[in-house]
Amino acid sequence: MLTRSLNKPDENIEKIWAEESEKRYNALIEGKVKTFAFKEIIERYK
């Protein structure tokens, strides 16, 4: 029973994440966020 309840998608949470991902994608496309190359991140945190 517990595993069934954990695996059941919550439509409200799915909707919230869809909206958030759309906002993040738009911010990226519009140049509102700075991006970093993967290699740069790895070098920074060695």
Provide the domain limits for residue 38: 2-44
* Structure tokens belonging to residue 16: 């919230």
Give Cα 41 to chain centroid, integer Å: 18
The predicted pLDDT at position 7 comes to: 75
The predicted pLDDT at position 1 comes to: 59
> How many domains is the chain built from?
1
The predicted pLDDT at position 8 comes to: 79
Contacts of residue 35, defined as CB under 8 A and 6 or more positions apart, other chains included, come to 28
Neighbouring C-alpha atoms within 13 Å toward the C-beta of 19:
6
Predicted confidence (pLDDT) per residue in 1-46, tens digit: 566 677 778 889 999 999 999 999 999 999 999 999 999 999 999 8
Q: Is 19 exposed, middle or buried (0-12, 13-18, 19+ CB in 10 A)?
A: exposed
